[in-house]
Structure 1
């Protein structure tokens, strides 16, 4: 069964903003799909629809009813709780017993490489480590659908690349259906089985590009000609979106430098 399916989904907010238009997209377990596109094109809105935080104006969003993990742009940790207690939180909220939620939390902490930091509080951790805690917290839910809302955008390049590799390793160890929002073309290609490019608002799919590399992916893949060729296809699709937006803007605002010179 498909883990997430968007069927001709459109969304207009109460203030009249049209966020999405006619989006149809399927992500199955074992697929990791990145969403790229201009700011405000509805990438994060698609994640909120998948999680049930928003409802479409038209169309349908269907999931397989599987466990869902959500990693936000910010780590959103409780500052007064230790790493262990933060990671235990989903189990506590779902009513799991102390022994069960501790076992799940310790396993998730180990999987993200934070062994030995269980008693640290968020203020004692780097940005990359805090994001690892956020991922570990989601892992305790044993998600079959994993949503990532640009989680590494605020991190330095080296930390970002390392976390790309670590999330890839998690995907290999227990494949899920992944939907990942990013503004980075190299990140989208390195992480994904497919890269979906959205137009400017209202967001619609303008390209769905397959990434032909297997997992696990070595760091040096980023410097190969094959990687560069896929990244170029994604960049070209993004440039076509920018060109389309520019043409629409010029059509709506036909005044040009020539007009200004004539007025002078």
Structure 2
């Protein structure tokens, strides 16, 4: 995958890529009245309700400490709610952390092969899957490089490739691009969007950037301050594929303004 090429609408249609979320599809993730209080008494979440279907890419935005990452950890089964229910309808789950979390002593290829290796797949099968994933994220030619030899953006691509070998139906992204420069961040936004178009997984993406949330998503969920709860759900009715230049259009600006207004409203409500 080129780091700069955008997929045209015509190309997307010819390739059979998904352009809108299938509303009739059964949800991959459902949270109902989810609350979480940690053992130290911190009330992190309260009565959170939302669902994500295949072909939907949902971004979570909200103040620092409002429970965005905690919601991903609940979806992944790393935490258990103290109230309500979290229903994940698939065992094929990908999780991208804020850091690339690659093993320093393994090559890109060996890092990407790791999930299949741990699952007991034979060498030929895991090698084929890893090489395909590496190609899809634009790292072909870097298979033998160690993480220390890669840029931050390339390390994150390797992390995404590793998750792709699991063929995830639910893909969770915990603010993976927050530490990257703006140009690299926008390129990775575009590349993840291309993967979403190809695979039509259910995506949940945590970010502090309103523009990133709107560009990536079919829907943006705004959370209040702690204890986090849903303050607003704002649809993003912009067709995929999305050219990076869409960020400068009036329609994009209107949606971003609505998300920002919801964020400020949630902050005022929390302060009151």
Q: Structure 2-normalised TM-score? A: 0.90
1:183 to 208, 211, 214: 208
Residue 140 (str. 1) matches residue 153 (str. 2): no
Q: Is the 8 A contact 2:90 2:169 kept in 1?
A: no
2:55 to 24, 30, 36: 30
Distance 1:66 1:15 in 2: 31
Distance 1:57 1:221 in 2: 41
Matches within 5 A, 1:205-244: 205-244=230-269
Distance 1:179 1:63 in 2: 13
Matches within 5 A, 1:10-49: 10-49=35-74
Q: Is the 8 A contact 1:3 1:66 kept in 2?
A: no
Give the CA RMSD over aligned residues: 0.7
| Structure 1 residue 179 displacement after superposition | 0.4
Corresponding residue pairs, total: 247
User: Where in structure 1 are there 5+ consecutive unaligned residues?
Assistant: 249-264
| Structure 1 residue 137 displacement after superposition | 0.3
Distance 1:66 1:144 in 2: 8
Q: Structure 1-normalised TM-score? A: 0.93
> Per the alignment, in what secondary structure is the counterpart of residue 155 of structure 1?
coil
1:114 to 139, 156, 181: 139
